[in-house]
Homo-oligomer: A and B are copies of this chain.
């Protein structure tokens, strides 16, 4: 194999990678526009859209009235005329006023019209907890949207994925809920900025991009137990795997990346190998995405399992005051406790 051209690798944090990805998408396609509360001059409360208003102007970076249903609803109308609106919901806990628009309109218009209409709206949501915030600013909402067909739900865990996946989400003809692990905005990493552009500019790029965005990634190989996570919990699982290794337990970590759909092929391959699985997410365990994973692993790999699939996540309660979140959220200790339990079999 000959040496490849040097990739355009830059060091970025996760929030900056989304910013750069948005910029690249806007440069690539003049129909891509951003809308949301405070995303213009302010650059968003997390500064994820910093600089874009200055460079692309009022018409492509739109500060909207303070009404989430109206934001998503008007974005749908724009999409119907060929635009690709990328909506920012300021915090996870404020997506609910738009629930009707997302669930009954955005998710269903393509199906409703038997494919005659497409609404490629991307909804960016800084989600999950761990930043010491007040109420409604730490919610994990993925299960509430994954249950609704027609939406894709993804969450990047690394700057590279953040950079690639935001562009893939924008390129996808389907509506995408893009969940940004806000506590990881400041995580640093190397980002190859060339690859996704090449993918998207190729014939069938949007399809390929959607498919790639929907695939899981083996973040660490192992053989005794599979840790399944996405978004903010991936880093935690990697740390847990590191510690488990010290205890001679070899944990494989799968970064699911996509919640709807789950990449069950990758999941099942791993679980069939290890015979044990622990699912980790911040959302309450009850009726969460971990239940779906556990059920499907059960259905498809029952006779490979040495132990029940364990779930580590939030409790059945509203997200508590931030002084409690350390205890509320899944932790390395709780993950290792679950690993111990599955390893006992």
Spell out A's residues near B (CB within 8 Å).
69, 93, 96-97, 99-100, 103-104, 107-108, 111-112, 135-136, 143-144, 146-147, 149-150, 260, 283-284, 286-292, 294-296, 298-299, 302, 305, 307-311, 315-318
Minimum CB–CB distance from A203 to chain B (whole Å) comes to 29
Q: How many copies does the complex hold?
A: 2
Once A111-B318, A291-B294 are accepted as A-B contacts, the answer to whether A96 and B93 lie under 8 Å apart by CB is no
- Smallest Cβ-Cβ distance to A103: which chain B residue: B96
Contact status of A295 and B291, CB under 8 A, knowing A99-B96, A100-B97, A149-B318: yes
Q: Which of B107, B135, B146, B289 contacts A318 (CB 8 A)?
A: B107
Q: Which of B103, B284, B288, B295 contacts A294 (CB 8 A)?
A: B295
Closest CB in chain B relative to A35 CB, distance in Å: 19
A338 → B minimal CB distance (Å): 10
Residue of B nearest to A95 (CB): B100
Tell me the bound Cα distance from A290 to B298 in angstroms.
12
Contact B97 A93 (CB under 8 A): no
- Expressed in whole angstroms, the Cα–Cα distance for A308 and B100 within the complex equals 35
Flag if B299 contacts A149 (CB, 8 Å). no
Which of B149, B305, B317 is within 8 Å of A111, CB to CB? B317
Contact between B295 and A311, CB atoms less than 8 A apart: yes
Least Cβ–Cβ distance between A312 and chain B, in angstroms: 12
| Cα-based distance from A284 to B147 in the complex (angstroms) | 7
A and B contact pairs by CB, cutoff 8 A, 6 listed: A146-B286, A147-B288, A149-B315, A287-B292, A291-B296, A299-B309
A136 to B227, CA, bound (A): 38
Residue from A112, A135, A295 with most neighbouring chain B CB atoms (10 Å): A295
Q: Are B286 and A309 in contact (CB under 8 A)?
A: no
**CA gap between A285 and B48 in the complex, in Å:** 36
The 4 nearest A-B residue pairs measured at CB: A96-B100, A294-B295, A99-B99, A302-B308
**What is the minimal beta-carbon distance from A39 to any residue of chain B, in angstroms?**
21
Distance, CA A298 to CA B143, complexed state (A): 20
Tell me, in angstroms, the Cα distance from A111 to B97 when the chains sit together: 21
Question: Which residues of the partner chain B approach A99 to less than 8 Å between Cβ atoms?
Answer: 96, 99-100, 103
Inter-chain CA distance A314–B332, complex, in Å, is: 36
Complex Cα distance, B68 from A69, in Å, reads 14
Assess whether A147 is in contact with B150, with CB atoms less than 8 Å apart. no
Kindly list chain B residues whose C-beta atoms are within 8 Å of the C-beta of A298: 294-295, 298, 308-309
